[in-house]
Structures are given as C-alpha cells and as structure tokens.
Structure 1
Amino acid sequence: MPPATFNCTRCQAPLTPGSTQCTNCGLTFDTPVPYAAAPGYAAPPAKKTSPIAIIAIIGAVGCLPMIAIMAAILFPVFARAREKAREDVSMNNLRSLGLASLQFTQDHDEKLPPLDTMEHFKAAVSQYIPAQNGQDLYTEPGANVPYALNAKISKKSLETFSDPTKVVLIREAVPHSDGKIATVYVDGHVTLETPGP
C-alpha cells in the first residue's frame, strides 16, 4: 500500500510534508503538512481456536478430578510404605546394636556395655559395628532422636538375668504411627511390639 500524500485544497497540487504554503498556488495553511506514515507491519490476524485444542482443554479439565482421586488414594499408601521402611531400618539398627552388645559382653567377662548414656554405649560398642557408609545406627530413622537405653542393666553380668529373652536392652524412644516400638533384648532378638502400661 503506497504512503498517503496530501494535495492542496485549491489547486490539487501535491504538497511537500512539513510546508505551510502550496508552492503551486501560494495558499497558506495554519498547520504544516503532515508527513506520510512510515510503512509498518500489520498485526497478524487472530488465530481461531481449533477443535482439537478445545477437545484437549476439555480433556485436561476433565482429568483434574481423576488426578485428585488418585492422589487421595495413593498418599496414604505412600505414607504406609514410608512408615514400613522406617520400621525395617530401625529394626536393622537395633539388631546391629544388639549383636555388638553381645560381642562386647563376650569380650568383657559376660558383662554388658555401659548403658547410662548413648555416648558411653557408643564408645564401648563402636568397634564391634562394621562401617555403615555414614548411616547413624544410634539414632531412630525419621525421628532423629537417640534410641532409649535400659540404664538399669548397665554393666551388669549376664548371669544376673534368669531369662535374658525378656530383658529389654535398647528400644525406640518414639513410637510408630500404630503405637508399636522396635525393641532389642539382652539375648539379641528384635521385636516390634506395643509397649505395656
């Protein structure tokens, strides 16, 4: 499209942009002749929404309730799986600590390791525990608190117990969501049980 030109209203001669007088007839103007607009780019025409896009939008909106239902079903499953993993790791930790305590006992005239503080216990049995690649066996997974030691039996001889299978050595301090706690006994066996009153 050619740029717009302005002509004199009296003689119809083309006018020079910016001038205030016609060079042909001498007619004067109150305002200068405007410059022609520079050629520009026209805005692209608006795209029409295709039927496929409309169907895709309806499908996406229709899927949102389905996703919400699936999330409501799966979140409890994931929570139970996480809790089960915590139980397994904790029982394995206690099993390792129980075996280390038994090895300490065998090397120290059938006397249990010190159980008054976690620091004393850790110092006594750490040599009997293999390297754990940075895993902390002395802390409950997920709770980040140390296991509870049975300080009443600290450094006692095994012969003082009539039934070591019923004497708690170490147990979790924080119960699981179902109220159970993992416990290792003096004989080394580990259980997951509901604590008594």
Structure 2
Amino acid sequence: MIEWITCNPDAVSAIAAIITAVATIFLFLCTGVYVFLTNQSVKEARKLRETATSPLISIYIQSFKKSQYLELVIENIGNSPAYNIDIKFDENFIQKVHETENRIPFELHIKYFTPKQSVAYFLCEFGKLPQDNDFSFNIDLSYSSKDKEVFNDSFKYNYSFLKRADNSIPYELEQHKNMLRGIENSIKGLTSAINKKANP
C-alpha cells in the first residue's frame, strides 16, 4: 500500500481532492439545513410572540344563565388591547331577530377593548332564531392592535349545537331548587339530632 502511494502521487492527490470536495459539499449541505432550520425557528418564535401580544376578538352565542334565552357575546380573548373594532352582522339574521327583540344593531363599533373584556347583548329565545340557512349567519369583523396592525375576518357562525343544549330549567328555578335541597338537608339533620336526644 505504501509502495503504491509512493509510486502514484498523482492518484493520491486526485483521491484527496475528491474526498475534500465531497466533504466540502457535505459541509455546505449541513450548513444550508442548519440555516433553514434556524430561519424556521425564528419565524415560529416571531409568530408565537405576535400571537401572545395580539388582540383576538371572539364572537359567540351562549345561553343566558342556563335558560332558553340567548345572549350574543363579544370578547377579547387575546393578551393585548383591541382598537377600532367594527362588527357587521348578517342583515337577514338581525331582521329576523328584530321581529321579537330589537337590542342588537346591524353594525357595532367599539373604540377600545381591554384583554379579557367582554360585552353581552340579549338576543332572544332559541326557538325564535332563524331556523334556516343551516342555523348559521355571517359576521364581518375588523379591528387593530396597539401597533396599528389590522386584523380582518369574515366567517359563518353556526348555532345548531344549541338545539341539543339542555336549557330546559331556567337559572332562577335551578337556584331555588338548590336552596330547597339545602333546607331539606338541614331539616333532616335537625330531626336526626332531636331524635338522638329524645332517644338516648
């Protein structure tokens, strides 16, 4: 082997050059992959930071105090204030709601909303909501962050899940039921104590 190397210096140089070239290409590819992954990590970190420091306006319908009446809630579930919130509701939906209740406007403008702040508007009973269009209506939403970044969203809100919600017992009746149950337990306790004293 040593003799071959001594006798073929050009071949050895060629092999060394090939090994160096392959190593250089490999190093170049590794560096490229490293740069790509680092860039992706920076993008993800930036996206997470933006999400953590951005407002996020949520609009939903829920039962009012576990009754058959509903309320429409607008809430900033983000970690930053929201500015100049503009909300436009489906006109057909609001017109239908206005046949029984006239509390929700077609459009809303809120200048400032703190993180975790919410506002609720009384809607109507579930049975009086429009039952067509797959139990859904359109909402157009626009707001901005403190850094003047504008967020626009248009979506269809589906409230069909409320059909299966158990809202048959109004909140006040449920509270009274719990109170009577507590009184009943207290009376049972007193009766038991009196019986023990009367029959030692």
When normalised by structure 2's length, the TM-score is 0.26
Which has the higher relative contact order, 1 or 2, with Cα contacts under 8 A spaced 6 or more apart? 2
Whose helix proportion is higher, 1 or 2?
2
Bigger radius of gyration among the two: 1
Whose strand proportion is higher, 1 or 2?
2
When normalised by structure 1's length, the TM-score is 0.26
